[in-house]
Amino acid sequence: MPDTQKLSFHVPDPGLRPGDTPDFSHVKIPQAGSVRRPEIDESPAEMRDLAFSIIRVLNRNGQAVGPWAGSLDTERLIEGLRHMMTLRIFDARMMTAQRQGKTSFYMQHLGEEAVSCAFRLALEPGDMNFPTYRQAGLLIASGYPMTQMMNQIYSNEADPLRGRQLPILYASQEHGFFTVSGNLATQFVQAVGWAMASAISGDSRIAAGWIGDGSTAENDFHAGMVFASTYRAPVVLNIVNNQWAISTFQGIAVGEAGTLAARGHGFGIPALRVDGNDYLAVHAVAKWAVARARRNLGPTVIEYVTYRAGGHSTSDDPAAYRPKEESAAWPLGDPILRLKTHLIEIGAWSEERHVQAEAQIRDEVIAAQKAAESIGTMHSGRQPSPREMFEDVYAEMPAHLIRQRHEVGY
Amino acid sequence: MATEILMPALSPTMEEGTLSKWLVKEGDTVSAGDILAEIETDKATMEFEAVDEGIVGRILVNEGSEGVKVNTPIAVMVEDGESVDDAAQAVETAQTKTPESAPKATAASPAAAAPEPDTSPDWPEGTKLKQQTVREALRDAMAEEMRRDEDVFLMGEEVAEYQGAYKISQGLLDEFSARRVIDTPITEHGFTGLAVGAAFGGLRPIVEFMTFNFAMQAMDQIVNSAAKTLYMSGGQMGAPMVFRGPNGAAARVAAQHSQDFAAWFMQIPGLKVVMPYSASDAKGLLKTAIRDDNPVIFLENEILYGRSFDVPDIDDYTVPFGKARIWREGEDVTIVSFGIGMSYALEAAEILAKDGIDAEVIDLRTLRPMDTATIIKSVQKTNRCVTVEEGWPQGSVGSYISSVLMQEAFDWLDAPVINCTGKDVPLPYAANLEKYALTSTEEVLEAVRKVTYK
C-alpha cells in the first residue's frame, strides 16, 4: 500500500485581523547600510541575494549609511521632502473633497509617498512611466500643476482628460506619465513594449512599469517579465508591495514562500528589494536600475517594501479587515518623518522650518484647490461640454460621430 | 464668500444618511480639519471635517435628522465680517442657478440626410492588371509600407524564421532583419500588450495573430487599452497599429479554430475593422490600415489566401476605408457581403442571372466605418436585400444592416431583409456537419427567391 493521506486545502491567512495585536516580526529587516551595492553590469546570477534582503540607507538615528548612501545632495533632499509633504497634504484635501461630494472617488498615498516621489528624481525628461493609481508623486515631483490634477479629479470644464476618466487616473505625456488604466496590470507589459520601441528606434529614453503586490497575479505581469527578459528591454519593473490589496493580504498573490522580487530570478532579471519608506534608498536603487537600462544592460525588477497606511480608496474602511494599530506598528516607519529626521540630523532642516514649510505647502494646495473649484466640481460649476464626448474616439472624427454630435446640438 | 456645506457621501453609491450629531454651533469659528459633525450611514459612522477655516453661519439640518440626502446643504460657512444673512442670500442665489441644460437626444435623421455614396472606381480605366494571390498581396502591402516608413514593424508567433504560419511574411525577415520582423513568445495577451506599448511609444506595429481565435486571449489589451487610450488620455496618446491574421472557418479545424469575429470587433468604438475579399482589396486596404492613426482590426481568411485576383499594377495602390465595392450591378435584389461570404454571394448571382434574376452584389470591405450609403442607395433601386456572412446570427453584421435599412430605407423595402449566417452552433469537425453549419450558395439562392417572391 502506498503511503497516502487525505488531502487538505490550503488558503494563506494573514494571521491577524481586527481586534488582534499587530505583529510584523516575520518581516526580516536588515540593518541600514548592511546590504551590498553591486556594479551595474554585474551578472544577475551573482546578485540573487538582493531579492531576499532589504536595501536601506537611513538608520534609526536618521543617518545615511552604507554603500547606497549619497545619491542626492542636500538641496535635492529638501526638495524631495517638500514633494512628499505636498502629496500628503494634497491627498488629505482630496479625501475630504470626496466626502463633501465634490468628486466620486479618491485614492491616497499615505505611507507610500517616498516610492513615487523619489523614483521620479532618477528619471530624465522624455522617459515614460506606466503607473498604477498610487504614484501621483511622479506628477508632483515633475512639477505637474496641482490645479490640473484637481481639475481631473473634479472632472470640470478644465479637466485635461475632458471628463472621460475616473478621478485620479491622470495622464500627461509631457510629464512622462502614461494614462492610468482602470484595468489592473495592463500597463506593465505596455511599459516593456514602449521600452522595446525606444530600443528599436535607437532612442535613449527608457520606460518604467508599475504594479502592486496584488496585481502581480495578472497575466500582464508574467508576460511583461517574459518580454523584458527576451528582448532585454530598457525598462525598470517596479513592484510596490504595500502589503494589502484592498482586504487581501499580500500572501494571497505571492503565496507564503519567497518574495515578489525573487520572481525576477526565473526570468534572469536582476531583482532588488528596497525599503520603500526610505527616500534615500528608493532613489539610490532607482538610479542604479535606470543606469542599467540606459546602458543597454536591460530590465531590473525592484520590489518596494512599504505599507498602505490608509484605506485602499474612499470606498473601503481598513478597520474592517486589519487591526487598527497595524499601521503604527509597521516597522519601516513613516517616510516623511524619516527624511525629516535625517535632514535635521545633518543640520539642513529644523522643526521650525518644517512647520513653516507645512503651512506654506498647505496654502499652495488650498490655492490650487480654490482655483480648480472656481471652475467646477463633480456636480456644480462649469462642466465638460457634451462636444468632448465625441472627440478622440478616433484620431480624426468620422462622419457618423460628427452627425451624432450635431444631433445633440454641438 | 459664503460656502455651503453639503451632506457628504462615504461612497458613490450612498444616497442618504443620518446627521447624528453637530460638534459645532452657529457662530463658532472653525479651522481646517476640525470635526464639524458625525454622519451615520448604513456602513459606518463618519466624522466630517472642515476643509477651510471660517465661521459656522447657519446650521440648516438639525442633528438627529434621518434620511438626509447626499449633497443637501446642511450648513453655511461665512468668512470673518460676513453676516449670516449674506450667507443665506448666497445660498439662494446658488440654488437658483441652473446648470447647463443637458443635450436633447433626437431620433436619427431620415434617409434624406444620408450622404451620397462614393462611386469612383478603385483604379483608373486602362490600368495594367496582374494576377496575384491574396497571400502575395498581403505580403507586398507590408513590404511596401515597411520600406516607406521605418516605424512600421511586424511581430507575432512564427512570423520571422518560419515566414508566418500561413506564409504571409515570406521574405520579410531577409529584407528587414530581426529588428523589424520579430518572433515572439507564445502569449497573445502578452505580445498584444507589448505592441500596444510600442504603439504608444511612437512605432506602428503590425501584430499577426496566427489566427484570430487566439486573439480572444488579447481582448483586454485590444478593447480596453488599444481602442480606448486616445479617448481616455484626452487625446494625448493613441495606438496606431494593425492587428491582422486569418479569421473565420478554414476546413476541418472545428469549434475553437473556426470563428468569425467580424461582428464582435465591429461593436467597439475606437477600432476600425476591415475584412477584404479580393487580393487588390487585401493589398490596398492593408496599406491604408498601416497608415491609419487608429488601431485597425484586419480580418483575413485562410481559404482566400491562395485565391488569385486582378491586382492593379500601380505604385502605392491604396483603398480608402468606408467605401464599399459594387462587384456586380443589378436591378432585382441587393446582396451585401464581405470577406469569404462574397464567394457565395457572387456564385449565387451568377446562377440567379441564368434564372433571370438580376442581383446587385456589394462587398462592404470595411465594417467600421461601414458604407451604409451604398447599401441604402442600392436598396432604393432593388427594394430587396439579402446579407451573407459566416458568423453567428445573433448580433451579426447582417442584423445591423437590417436595422439600418429599417430605419433609413423602410419605405423602399418590398420584403423583409434576410440574413444568411452560420448556424447558431460552435463549428463541428465532421466534413458534412461543417458544411451544413456554414452558410452556402444554396442558402443565398433560397433567400433571394424568398425576397423576390420567385
In a domain, A13, yes or no: no
- pLDDT tens track for B41-53: 766 677 787 877 8
The CA–CA distances, whole Å, from A186 to A168, A245, B229 equal 17, 17, 12
B193 interface with A at CB cutoff 8 Å: yes
In a domain, A39, yes or no: no
Neighbours of B251 (CB within 10 A): 10
Say if the Cβ atoms of B197 and A169 lie within 8 Å. Answer: no
- pLDDT tens track for B133-171: 999 999 999 999 999 999 999 999 999 999 999 999 999
Nearest by CB: A192 against B105, B194, B322 = B194
Nearest by CB: B230 against A193, A314, A395 = A395
- pLDDT tens track for A241-250: 999 999 888 8
Angle at A226 between CA A221 and CA A228, to 5 degrees: 90
Partners of A118 in beta bridges: none
Same domain, A288 and A398: no
Write out the catalytic residue numbers of B.
Answer: 188, 257
Domain that holds residue A408: 385-410
In a domain, A30, yes or no: no
CA-based nearest distance B163→chain A, Å: 20
Residue to test with chain A: of B5, B11, B200, most A Cβ within 10 A: B200
Say if the Cβ atoms of B232 and A219 lie within 8 Å. Answer: no
Question: What is the rounded average pLDDT of the residues A49-68?
Answer: 97
Angle at A107 between CA B76 and CA B72, to 5 degrees: 25
How much is the pLDDT for B187? 93
The CA–CA distances, whole Å, from B244 to B284, B363, B367, B370, B372 equal 14, 19, 15, 19, 24
In a domain, A374, yes or no: yes
In chain B, residues 376-405 whose CB comes closer than 8 Å to chain A: none
Model confidence at B103, pLDDT cuts 50, 70, 90, reads very low
Say if the Cβ atoms of B194 and A189 lie within 8 Å. Answer: yes
Residues from chain A contacting residue B187 (CB–CB below 8 Å): 219, 223, 226
Say if the Cβ atoms of A183 and B224 lie within 8 Å. Answer: yes
Residues from chain B contacting residue A391 (CB–CB below 8 Å): 235
Question: What is the rounded average pLDDT of the residues B389-402?
Answer: 97
Question: What is the rounded average pLDDT of the residues B8-31?
Answer: 83
A304-313, B37-46, B341-350: range with lowest mean pLDDT: B37-46
Same domain, A197 and A113: yes
Closest residue in B to A222 (Cα) is B190
Neighbours of A72 (CB within 10 A): 20
How much is the pLDDT for B15? 81
CA-based nearest distance B291→chain A, Å: 12
Say if the Cβ atoms of A99 and B9 lie within 8 Å. Answer: yes
Q: CA B282, CA B312: separation in Å to the nearest integer?
A: 12
How much is the pLDDT for B40? 81
| ipTM of predicted complex | 0.87
Same domain, A356 and A231: yes
CA-based nearest distance A386→chain B, Å: 7
Q: Which residue has the higher pLDDT, B41 or B278?
A: B278
In a domain, A2, yes or no: no
User: Residue B152 has which C-alpha cell?
Assistant: 512600421
Residues from chain A contacting residue B196 (CB–CB below 8 Å): 190, 193
A3-12, B2-11, B369-378: range with lowest mean pLDDT: B2-11
A31-59 burial, b for 16+ CB within 10 Å, e for fewer?
ebbebebbebeeebeebeebbebbbbbbb
Q: Which one-letter DSSP state was computed for residue B387?
A: E
Same domain, A393 and A305: no
Same domain, A300 and A400: no
How many beta-carbon pairs under 8 angstroms link A with B?
197
- pLDDT tens track for B28-73: 988 877 888 888 876 667 778 787 788 888 899 999 898 898 888 8
CATH of the domain at A374: 3.40.50.970
In a domain, A343, yes or no: yes
Same domain, A311 and A397: no
Same domain, A371 and A398: no
Model confidence at A257, pLDDT cuts 50, 70, 90, reads confident
Closest residue in A to B106 (Cα) is A407
Question: What is the rounded average pLDDT of the residues A110-115?
Answer: 98
Residues from chain A contacting residue B70 (CB–CB below 8 Å): 101
In a domain, A8, yes or no: no
How much is the pLDDT for B82? 72
Q: CA A174, CA A195: separation in Å to the nearest integer?
A: 17
Nearest by CB: B8 against A100, A159, A160 = A100
A324-328, B129-133, B143-147, B173-177: range with lowest mean pLDDT: A324-328
Say if the Cβ atoms of B369 and A399 lie within 8 Å. Answer: yes
Closest residue in B to A380 (Cα) is B99
Handedness of CA B311, B314, B319, B325 (dihedral sign): negative
Domain count, chain A: 2
Say if the Cβ atoms of A392 and B322 lie within 8 Å. Answer: no
Residue to test with chain B: of A94, A128, A190, most B Cβ within 10 A: A190
How much is the pLDDT for B86? 57
Checking if the pLDDT of B109 tops 70, the result is: no
Same domain, A209 and A325: yes
Nearest by CB: A101 against B71, B106, B237 = B71
In a domain, A126, yes or no: yes
Same domain, A246 and A340: yes
Same domain, A148 and A252: yes
Checking if the pLDDT of B96 tops 50, the result is: no
Same domain, A392 and A350: no
Residues from chain A contacting residue B221 (CB–CB below 8 Å): 186, 189
Same domain, A325 and A356: yes
A116-130, B17-31, B225-239, B410-424: range with lowest mean pLDDT: B17-31
Checking if the pLDDT of A171 tops 70, the result is: yes
Assess contact for B421 and B439: CB atoms under 8 A.
yes
Rounded to two decimals, the pTM is 0.86
